[in-house]
Every structure is written in structure tokens, then in C-alpha cells.
Structure 1
């Protein structure tokens, strides 16, 4: 087990405390929520206490164009009191929304080091809903993240992309998969009462997921969409031949994955793709575009999927990929390893802040003559 860092704040209690502030939380169903929830469980197993600030206890309003997401109306004073009551040793700000903004303000005011994470392509996500120039949105992202000691991203390709846009202190925080829940299972002849092959996608049914790129394809067999979201009613009416199951959880979700012949990931804006890991762990080859996320998870030579700028070609190629190789690839992703990365980054953010303060106090050395 990792040796607990000794700090002045935690010297009188058994477990160091990490506070995580997130605008994304239940009842939302997405990769951000699942990642934080699972990381919290692993941190507890490593001997760390986790305190959370989420939108749940505060008044909120629905996000325009996406009412399932609630925007918190908490005040700065409420957030400041919550943080000060918990006395955290480490601060992690997971999202760039209202709660994240107020926690960032408190950290800067109190000179508290903090880390952040970049879960979603925030500028592109906002741009699909509001006509704001991407340049302005990336300026906001730089402003938000660059004052932290570490900005966590899920893949190496995303780290390179964001570094080129001027975002600093980037570090990797990968993801894991529950290999006991998601695993290959016997398949039925007509899952969901449909004809094979089954091409399936899982996730939020929302504009940023690029679902028409999948649903417009001329493919053999049947198309299945597992999930819910603001675009579901429109897409169900537009694509009557596709089967929409609604959202599934736990064992029901795992059984649904295992019935697929190909998992289709049409998104071009996700930063990772937790559902890709769930499909691979279920022994389902993946078809996707060669973009950040799929390209990082599925090596070209792995035999676990097919990536192509033509998504239809990727889907047909994935039919002949290996279910065994898909499972084997997923077995390399564990939540224990991902959580160790997270913990190292949180600790490093505090270390970086101390170095920065020390450098500001040191006298400037004159240049050699």
C-alpha cells in the first residue's frame, strides 16, 4: 500500500483527505460520473478519505438544450464553507462548470494547490449547443486549468493536442474496467428479437455522440442503441429500423454488451471512451474513427477492432476481428493502476505548487557578465 504523505493538515487524523469537486454527478449517467465513483472506491481501499462537492444538495437549473444536466446555483460562500469544514489535504477539481469555478476561486484565494481533469472536449461540447467561437472557449480552458498544478487527461494523443493549444502541467490519468462484470457470455440467436449481426452503440443519446454517422450506415443485420438522452425521441422517429433499449445498468448492461457482434463508437469528441473498454472486456470488437480515444486504446495490430475514416468500412472489418483479442486488450486496463496515476498526479500538483512558491521567494540571480 502507498505510504500516506505526512502533512500538517492530516497529522492528527488517520487518513489523508482528498476533496473532489464535480459538476457531473448522479442522476447523470456518463463516463465522468463512473470514473469518479470508481476512483473514490479505489482511493478508499488505498487508505485515503474522499470528500465530495456535487450539485446534489444545491438548487439548480436545467442546462439549456440538455435538461438532464443540472447547473448548480450554489454560492461561493456555500462552497467555501464546505471546503473549510472538510479541511482537505488535497483538492481536485474535476469539471469546468459552476462548482468547479467556485472551488478554483477558493483555492487561488487561499493559496491551496489543486489539480484538475479534462474529461470532455469542453469547447467542442459547448460549440455544438451555443454559437461561441472555439478560440474563445479554448482561452477559457487555458485560463481555468493552467493555474492548477496538474491537469489530468486520459490519453497521450490528447495530451499532445492540448499542449499545442497552450494548456500546461498535463499528465496522464487513464481508465479501468470492471473485468468481473463485463466479460464474454454465450450469445442468443436473436438478441432483442433482432437479426444478426448486431451492431451496437452504448452511451448518452445526445448530439455530441455523432449517432447519425452510425445510424445512417447501410449495414447487414441490426442496429442497437443502448442509452438515453435529449436526442433520443428525434432519433427514434428518424430511424425506425434501429432498436433503442433505453438506459441499462449493471448486469443488464453487461448482458446487452455481450450480445453484440460489433461495438460501434461514432463519437469524434470524447477524450477516452469508457464504453470502448466495456465492449472489449465483453469480447466485442470495436469499430470507430481513428481519433483520440479509440486510437489510443486500440493499437492497429491488436486485432481487437477496426479504425477507419469510413465508419462503415470499420464496422464491416470489425466483424472479422477476434473476440479473444478484444478481451485480452481490455485486461490491460485496471482501476487500481488508473487510481494510482490519479493519486500520483494529485500529490504532484501539491509538490509543484510548493516549488512555484519557493521559486517566487528566491532572489533573482543576475546574469553572468
Structure 2
């Protein structure tokens, strides 16, 4: 991680995050902003998150659990003006993100964005095309901001080659108090699932881009467990009756399940990071994954995971990895440091902007 953010000590700010990814959604992006907002507040900032729950919504096509704000522009403009932020961050290319982007451009207000989904790579893999169009659309969205934040060197280099910029680094970490090796706790029953061991587990969204078939097709001893839900769940349950689909888990159930697993198998090839990889390691559970951006950026050649194009071989090799070493490796990632990076990357809005607009009253006509 960059050390430049660690010496940056900003004054308290009013920070607005306008995000299409927010509660009640359950995913890595939501956990990132939930954790970041919590630490920002602890550091003295006032943080307002505007998510879909504040608007009328419709289900996203193919993702009924994801709600999209319906025509949020006018109400969002009032919210921004009333809050009068010192900085605005717009992370997701959805209705809220587009409305916030439009508002900022109309009023010449600087804002930052962050890159969370490699739509182009996913489209190319699934439909054999559309990669250039998808990246062009994302470049149009993000290039309007003062800076785009990215998680890893690999992602920064890839986006730079495609004309994205300016790019600033914003790393990821794991809450090692919440995600912990519960096997070490006296009252924890590691066999609460009641399944034959070894237990190979995936935890996350159950959707086509997660490439779960690559995990479920493997010939492995013991049990395969999928924790999570999503649009592909029904079809996968039908196609893989021997696997155990447990649905969504939240709160303490997340480290509880990760701690019970012998290996966490991460079959996705299209991650910008893969936060759940760190969460599994923090619970002391070794990881098996493909050697692709995300897992490679997190792990490199660290001996706490098995990366390989032969995912079965990687999963079996991971059984021999020391769980204590996994935990120690995860503890080297600091959310405090990541949040300081986020702070340093924000672009301040001149206070005159809100004075001239009388606390945002003109936003009602936006």
C-alpha cells in the first residue's frame, strides 16, 4: 500500500457517498463502503451515504435482490444541496451514480469515482464481445470525475492502457475483529454444518459472473458448500444436487461459516479485488483460486493460498496450508490505512459553491 496517505491528516469533512450499491444489498462493495464510512466517522468526519433505499426502486434485470432507484435526479439534487458536502464520491455506474455525476457536472462541482466491476471482461467471456463498448461506457462515466480510485496495481495498469485517468490507489483490507478464526474459540463447534470433511466452501453472490460451475464441477472429497444467493442459485441447485446451498448469511454467521471450512474456493476470474479472499484468510481458512487479477494482487506468491489453472489441484493443495499463517497474513492489511488513502484521494468542494446556492435551495430546480 502507498505510504503517502498515512502522512495526510485532513481536517474534518462532510463527505457524501452517492452509491447504487448499499443496504439492503449484501456484497463486497457494500461492505467496503460500510467499513469506510464507519472509520471516517470515527476519525471525525460527517458521512452521508445516499443509496437506493431512499427512492422508489425497481428490481435490476436478472438481479431481483438488487434494487435500482427510479428517476432519482430531483430528490438526489435536493439531498446533495441540503447536505452541502465538502467532498462527493460516486462509485457505481447506476441511476444514482449517473444522477450524481450529472448534478456535479451541471454545477461545476469536483467529485471522485471508484472502479468496482470489470464489465468488459465479463461480457467478452460470456457473450464473446462487447468488451470495447463496455469499457468505453465506463471510461465516459469515470473520466468526468477529478480522479478514479482503484484497488490494485494490476487494475491501475489495465485501466491506464484503456485510457482511464487520472487514477489514484485505494486499497482494501479486512476487519480482523469481525472476521476471525472462530475455531480458536472454546464454544465454537467446527462441525456445526454436520457435513463430511474436508469442506470446500464458496461464499459470495451466486451469479453467472462468479464462475461457480468451475468449483462445482470439481471432483473433490468431502463436501462442497455454497454460502450466498443470487440469480443463478435455482439453476445451480438443480444442476448440482450433491452440493449444499445454504443461502445468505450475515453478521457472525459469516466468520462462523468461513471458520468451519477447510478450504475457501474462489472460482471467479473477473474480480477487481475479491474482498472475501481476505475475509476467509482472516478466519484462518486457506484459499484456492485461479491465478488472475484480484487473487494474484492479494496473494502474489504468499504461501497462504494455492493459485493455479487446475483449480482441483489448487483446492487439494490448500488443505495442507497452515491456518495460523493465513490469519497472520490477513492482519497485515489495515482498513485504517485504506481509509486514509480514501481521505487523501477526495477532492474538496469550495465552500463558496454552497454559499452561492443558499445551502442548496437552488438544487430544487436542478
8 Å contact kept, 2:200–2:264: yes
Query: Does the Cα contact within 8 Å between 2:180 and 2:282 map onto a contact in 1?
Result: yes
**Equivalent position to 1:156, from 153, 165, 177:** 153
2:196 is matched with which residue?
195
Matched position secondary structure for 1:70: strand
1:53 to 50, 58, 65: 50
- Structure 2 equivalent of residue 326 of structure 1: 326
Please say if residues 128 and 208 of structure 1, whose CA atoms lie closer than 8 Å, have aligned partners that are also in contact.
no
Match of 1:265 in 2: 266
CA RMSD of aligned residues (A): 2.0
1:76 aligns with 2:73: yes
Alignment of 1:181 with 2:182, yes or no, is: no
Cα deviation 1:54-103 (Å, max 9, x = unaligned): 11121111111111111111342222221111111101001011111111
Deviation at 1:267, TM superposition (A): 0.5
CA shift in 2, pair 1:313/1:350, >3 Å? farther
Q: How does 1:273-352 map to 2 (within 5 A)?
A: 273-300=274-301, 302-347=302-347
What SS class does the counterpart of residue 166 from structure 1 fall into? coil
Alignment of 1:105-254 (within 5 A): 105-125=102-122, 133-186=130-183, 188=189, 190-254=191-255
Equivalences, count: 340
Long gaps (5+) in structure 1 = 6-14, 352-369
Q: Distance in 2 between matches of 1:345 and 1:227?
A: 33
1 CA distance for matches of 2:277 and 2:35?
17
1:362 corresponding residue in structure 2: none
1:130 CA drift (Å): 8.1
Q: Is the 8 A contact 1:128 1:207 kept in 2?
A: no
The alpha-carbon distance between structure 1 residues 129 and 60, as it changes in their structure 2 partners (threshold 3 A), is farther
1:277-334: CA deviation from partner (whole Å, max 9, x where unpaired): 110001111000111110011121x210011011111111111112121111100112
Q: What SS does structure 1 have at the residue aligned with 2:53?
A: coil
SS at match of 2:193: helix
Q: Deviations over 1:116-135 (max 9, x none)?
A: 00112133456788897221
TM-score by length of 2: 0.88
**Distance of aligned partners of 1:350 and 1:312 in 2 relative to their CA distance in 1, 3 Å threshold:** farther
CA distance in structure 2 between the aligned counterparts of 1:331 and 1:261, rounded to whole angstroms = 19
Asked if 1 retains the 8 angstrom alpha-carbon contact of 2:228 and 2:249, the reply is yes
Preserved CA contact (<8 Å) 2:86 2:349: no
Aligned to 2:355: none
Distance 1:127 1:63 in 2: 21
Q: Distance in 1 between matches of 2:10 and 2:264?
A: 41
More off after superposition, 115-124 vs 336-345:
115-124
Contact preservation (8 Å) 2:8, 2:344? no
Q: CA deviation at 1:162?
A: 0.9
Q: Which runs of 5+ in 2 are unaligned?
A: 1-6, 351-366
C-alpha distance in structure 2 between counterparts of 1:253 and 1:130, whole Å: 33
Q: Residue 205 of structure 2: SS of its match in structure 1? A: coil
Q: TM-score, normalization: structure 1?
A: 0.87
1:65–1:129 contact (8 Å) kept in structure 2: no
Q: Distance in 2 between matches of 1:54 and 1:225?
A: 28
Q: Is the 8 A contact 2:227 2:248 kept in 1?
A: yes
Q: 1:198: how far off? A: 0.7
State the alpha-carbon separation in 1 of the partners of residues 169 and 259 from structure 2. Answer: 30
Distance in 1 between residues matched to 2:9 and 2:238, nearest whole Å: 56
Q: Name the SS for the 2:256 alignment partner.
A: helix
Q: Give me the whole-angstrom Cα distance separating, in 2, the residues matched to 1:221 and 1:93.
A: 44
